Amino acid sequence: MIDVVFNGNKTFEMILDTGASGTLISQRMATALGVRPVRTVRAGIADGSVVEFPIGLVRSIRVGGAVIQNVEVAIAKQMPIGLLGHDFFGNYDVKIKKDVVEFYVR
C-alpha cells in the first residue's frame, strides 16, 4: 500500500499491483477527483473473468518524484481501494523495501 497523489492535490492510499496493466480507481476516488467516464472497456481480471469498466481521465498521478500526465484510469464501482498498475511504473525501475516503494527513472 502506498500514498498516491492525483492531479497534484488529492492523496489516496492504493495497492501497487505489479500484475495490473492499468490503474484502477474506486468509485469514491472517481467522485472525489471529479472523474467522469469517457468510454468503457472490457478487461480480464485476476480471477479469469472478463468485466466492463468505465474509463476516465486524470491530469496526473504522482508517487514521490515519479509522475505521469494525462492518464486513463478504470473505475471499479465495487472496489474499496485503487490499484496502481504498470501504466504508471512501466518506465521506472521499482524497488520494493519493507516500508517503502522507490521508483527510479530508467
CATH number for the region 2-105 comes to 2.40.70.10
Q: Which residues make Cβ contacts (< 8 Å) with residue 48, sequence separation at least 6? A: none
Q: Which residues make Cβ contacts (< 8 Å) with residue 14, sequence separation at least 6? A: 1, 2, 3, 4, 81, 82, 83, 84
Mean pLDDT taken over the chain: 93
SS3 50: strand
Helix H or strand E segment including 60: strand 50-63
Q: Poorest-confidence range of 5-9, 22-26, 55-59, 98-102?
A: 98-102
Residue 99 has pLDDT above 90, yes or no: no
pLDDT for 40: 96
pTM as predicted = 0.90
Q: Is the dihedral of CA 70, 72, 73, 77 positive or negative?
A: positive
Residue ranges per structural domain of the chain: 2-105
